Amino acid sequence: MTINAHSGLPEGGKARRVYLLLRDEISNGVFKDGARLPGEHKLAEQFDVSRITIRRALEALAADGWIEKKIGAGSVVRAQEQTGQRMSADFATLIPHLVEMDRTTTARLLSFSYDNAPASVADALGIPEGADVQKAVRVRSSGGQPFSHLTTFVPKDIAVSYDEADLATQPLFRLLERSGVSVESAHQTVTAALATPDVADALEVSVGSPLLFVQRVVRDANGQGVEHLSALYRPDLFRLEMSLARVGAGEARHWEPVIGGLK
Amino acid sequence: MTINAHSGLPEGGKARRVYLLLRDEISNGVFKDGARLPGEHKLAEQFDVSRITIRRALEALAADGWIEKKIGAGSVVRAQEQTGQRMSADFATLIPHLVEMDRTTTARLLSFSYDNAPASVADALGIPEGADVQKAVRVRSSGGQPFSHLTTFVPKDIAVSYDEADLATQPLFRLLERSGVSVESAHQTVTAALATPDVADALEVSVGSPLLFVQRVVRDANGQGVEHLSALYRPDLFRLEMSLARVGAGEARHWEPVIGGLK
């Protein structure tokens, strides 16, 4: 069983939509191993579709090993074999984490080109719109399973010190360091996005699957942007983890992140 | 223009899927104000659908104000009016942030009940499966726009000190404090999920929209779980923000989060 199993349901159809939503709930732990799904009638009402549509979605879930149809008991969620190790990133230990990730995962370079910076990237890096940037698209895998789709932009004057072969074999932060860049700070925003056709293809998920969307701008000691990253992660294989400890009392109380080691 | 505009495309159809994916890219800034979308032929190839489907999706995007069709120039992205203030949470200042959020946002209680703890919640809180818990579902809005859907579970012995009316008017962390709980630590995982019909309805988005999915377990001084939160956020209205500063050098280098004030 894999996340991209061929459920046999036409892409974009109602039954496939129900299939994806229910599979997402199983994969999120809303329905755990052994849990019983609501009956066809209730699901039809909940998703505002016909019972035939629900039946087709449930048949596909059963065919792909997500549920088991039991006589008298309806649809029961099956134990999920872990198809790959779930990665997790502790933002507080990002660089050691990247070093570790580099040891345990592989990256495949999908494209390497020089391009004009899109407006949003130029804005974030603090360079003129249309300035020359090195654009790379990579897919990172763990145990043969792709889990992240990474698009990076680096200003041309920094990027000239490495080439396609370097980026295919070494992590970008090492290449930046080798270029003499002193990485000083980063800002990242975390949100969610849908898998577009090209990303879905690279990550081996269905078009329209939910993905964790991280955008990071890395700056040098002068505050100059040196890297713009857009990373899309499969939620079944990658999560951000944060530990917080309470500090202070009364109105001054707040959470502080726990600075931990590698996990 | 709102994120849940009635594009007139049937839910679950191909044109609606293309509409949602393109709207997601515009809302994510992949296509900025004034940018030209690829031509119909290229989009048809990219999404593996007919040109008629692309045309219907583009017409709906134009009708909802996301793009403008210009003769000779194709589809041009229109400036997005901000329909509500975008919220952002700095995880490092979570409690002051919650206090501030309580001042500037409103919560609506959708349900309040005592229930048996689902297996995943019991596991996370360290209580027996099926133990009595107080379950509440709330929707938080800013400027009249719902941006988060919150499901919380609190062990019964703590929850008995507050009732439905309390939770409808006060933030949960205050009620926990009032119950004598000394909140000490929290762990949160961040990932992505799709909007199911009930959540989509509460957040006024289309079924199948991408949502940021935060799960948080809050513990007291003895390490006992006192709250389990599942929060789903609209990515157009809420993002997690993290600032990181580099600390150390060589192999000991790492990022540390910047502890900032309210933003």
Cα separation of B123 and B135, whole Å? 16
Choose the weakest-confidence range: A159-163, B36-40, B162-166, B238-242.
B238-242
Per-residue pLDDT tens over the stretch A201-255:
999 998 889 999 999 999 988 889 999 999 999 988 888 877 777 766 655 555 5
B contacts of A243 (beta carbons < 8 Å): 185-187
| Euclidean distance between CA atoms B100 and B261, whole angstroms | 11
Taking residues B46-65, report their average pLDDT.
88
Percent of chain A with pLDDT over 70: 79
Q: What local confidence, expressed as pLDDT, does residue A1 receive?
A: 35
Average pLDDT of the segment spanning B119-125: 91
Residues of A in contact with B188 (CB under 8 A): 241-242, 244
* Contact between A163 and A234 (Cβ < 8 Å): no
Nearest-Cα residue of chain B relative to residue A221: B246
SS3 assignment for B59-94: HHHHHCCCEEEECCCEEEECCCCCCCCCEEEEHHHH
Subunit contact A32:B190, Cβ cutoff 8 A: no
pLDDT beyond 70 at A81:
no
Which tops the pLDDT comparison, A226 or B184? Answer: A226
Cβ B194–A210 below 8 Å, yes or no? Answer: yes
Structure tokens at B260: 């900032």
Q: What is the mean pLDDT of chain A?
A: 80
Hey, are the CB atoms on B235 and A184 less than 8 Å from each other? no
Q: How far is B106 from chain A (nearest CA, A)?
A: 21
Chains A–B, number of C-beta pairs less than 8 Å apart: 211
Can you tell me the distance from the alpha carbon of A121 to that of B239, in angstroms, rounded to the nearest whole number?
Answer: 18
Question: What is the DSSP code string of A128-185?
Answer: -TT-EEEEEEEEEEETTEEEEEEEEEEEHHHHTTS-HHHHHHS-HHHHHHHTT--EEE
Give A-chain residues touching B212 at CB under 8 angstroms. Answer: 190-192, 212
Using only C-alpha atoms, what is the Rg of chain A?
Answer: 22
Is the pLDDT at A261 greater than 50? The verdict is no
Largest CA distance in chain B: 68
pLDDT, tens digit (0-9, with 9 covering 90-100), for A42-76: 999 888 889 999 998 998 888 888 888 887 778 88
Share of chain A above pLDDT 90, in %: 30
Instruction: Give the containing element (helix H, strand E) for A126.
Output: none
Q: Which chain B residues contact residue A43 at CB under 8 A?
A: none
Domains of chain B as residue ranges with CATH? 14-77 (1.10.10.10), 87-247+253-257 (3.40.1410.10)
- Residue A84: its pLDDT value, please? 42
Give the span between the Cα atoms of A190 and A104, in whole angstroms: 24
Nearest neighbour of B255 by CB, restricted to A21, A94, A207: A94
Residue-wise pLDDT tens digits, B145-161: 899 999 999 999 999 99
Among chain A residues, CA nearest to B43: A197
Kindly state the average pLDDT of the residues A186-199. Answer: 90
Q: Do A241 and B95 touch (CB under 8 A)?
A: no
B59's tokens: 């017409």
The pLDDT, as a whole number, for residue B47 is: 85
Would you state the pLDDT for residue B33?
76
Q: Do A93 and B255 touch (CB under 8 A)?
A: yes
Report the distance separating Cα A161 and Cα A174, nearest Å. Answer: 12
Residues of chain B positioned with their CB less than 8 A from the CB of A88: 189
Mean pLDDT over B64-74 rounds to: 82
Are B245 and B232 within 8 A, CB to CB?
no
Binning pLDDT at 50, 70 and 90, where does residue B4 land? very low
Q: Do B188 and A28 make contact, defined as CB atoms within 8 angstroms?
A: no
The pLDDT assigned to A31 comes to 78
User: Could you tell me the pLDDT band of residue A152, with boundaries at 50, 70 and 90?
Assistant: very high
Neighbours of B160 (CB within 10 A): 13
Q: What is the ipTM of this complex?
A: 0.71
Contact across the interface for A188 and B242, Cβ inside 8 Å:
yes
SS3 letters across B49-60? CCHHHHHHHHHH
Strand extents, DSSP E, chain A: 67-70, 74-77, 87-90, 106-116, 132-142, 145-155, 183-194, 210-220, 225-233, 238-247, 254-257
Q: Can you tell me the mean pLDDT for B76-101?
A: 55
- Cβ <8 Å between B32 and A119: yes
User: Residue B94 and residue A244: Cβ atoms within 8 Å?
Assistant: yes
Q: Which of A91, A177, A232, A255 to mutate to test the interface with B (most CBs of B within 10 A)?
A: A255
Record: contact B243-A213, CB cut-off 8 A: no
Share above pLDDT 90 across residues of chain B, in percent, rounded to a whole number: 29
Which of B242, B20, B35 lies closest to A214 in space, CA to CA? B242
pLDDT over 60 (residue A146): yes
Reading phi first (left if > 0) and then psi (alpha if -120 to 50, else beta), residue A199 is in: alpha
User: Which residue of A94, A187, A256 is in closest CB contact with B259?
Assistant: A256
The nearest alpha carbon in chain B to A259 belongs to B256
